[in-house]
Amino acid sequence: MTRGSKIVGILALLMTSAATEAKDAKNPTCPAHLNWSTFPQMRFTLDTSSGQRVLRAEGVIDEDVPAKLEDALKTNQPVDEIWLRSPGGIARAGNEAGKIIRKTGIATRIPANWACFSACNFMFMGGAVRFVDAGGLFVVHMFTHVSDKEAVRSELAKGTDNAIGLIGDVEQDSALLASEDNDFLIRMGVSRKLLTEVMYQQKAVADGNDDKSTRRCLTAAEAVKYNVANAQ
């Protein structure tokens, strides 16, 4: 074996080891670190460094995002692409923002090393043309009503009848949101099997079992299979 081939072999081993170490132990389809922005509220900034007019959408999706998105699109027009990096947020705000993007016809992209999770998925799917670059992560989970669950636990601990009503409200809203998600995917041209085969197969909350996975990173092949990415 030549010195050059030895070096190549060592580098390959190091890269394999690094890739193994970088996996999330609880969510093995994902890397340990997800670059989905730490901004507490989504920021929209224009970036022209690539030669295109790119609107960067980074941070948490709250109820103000649809209005802020519309303002950013007007202020920065024309916009060639919208790049997304977000840990998600309010599901219905993500859906509404996705509908706004679809009306504009602007392409969406998850660049290399960026992650788009939860409500961000629906913003991204609003793009008529959708790119998930190599190393970009489209990360899904089962939607949750965490605050409602905490309220239910509190009422159960008190031994009151209010817990029954709260459980009913959570179930009703969950059913409505599932229906809205299904309708959204149909309108955006994304396979509904993304919901039934992937999203809704994830645990909403980690439990005491060995499997503690609560999120799933789609592979490049899966992104194409479900028509999440429809361009390359």
- 101 Cβ neighbours under 8 A, 6+ residues apart: 69, 82, 108, 123, 126, 127
Domain with 128, as residue range(s), is: 27-142+190-225
Which DSSP string do the residues of 19-74 spell out, in sequence order?
Answer: HHHTB-SSSTTSBS-------SS-EEEEE-TTSS-EEEEES-B-TTHHHHHHHHHH
User: Does any domain span residue 183?
Assistant: no
CA-angle at 124, arms to 120 and 45, nearest 5°? 80
pLDDT value of position 205: 66
What type of residue is 157?
A: A
Query: What do you get for the CA distance between the two ends of the chain, in Å?
Result: 39
User: Does any domain span residue 87?
Assistant: yes
**pLDDT per residue of the chain (232 residues) written in tens, 0 to 9:** 444 444 434 334 433 444 444 889 999 999 999 999 989 999 999 999 999 999 999 999 999 999 999 999 999 999 999 999 999 999 999 999 999 999 999 999 999 999 999 999 999 999 999 999 999 999 999 865 444 455 445 545 555 556 555 455 555 555 666 778 889 999 999 999 999 999 888 876 666 676 778 899 999 999 999 999 999 8
What type of residue is 110?
A: I
User: Does any domain span residue 184?
Assistant: no
| Total number of domains in the chain | 1
User: Does any domain span residue 17?
Assistant: no
CATH number at residue 91: 3.90.226.10
Token couple for 125: 């799917």
Prior bond of 78 cis (ω within 30°) = yes
User: Does any domain span residue 151?
Assistant: no
User: Does any domain span residue 15?
Assistant: no
Which DSSP string do the residues of 92-160 spell out, in sequence order?
Answer: HHHHHHHHHHHHHT-EEEE-TT-EEETHHHHHHTT-SSEEE-TT-EEEE-----HHHHHHHHHHHHHT-
User: Does any domain span residue 16?
Assistant: no
Q: Quick check: pTM over 0.75?
A: yes
User: Does any domain span residue 123?
Assistant: yes
pLDDT value of position 168: 52
pLDDT value of position 144: 57
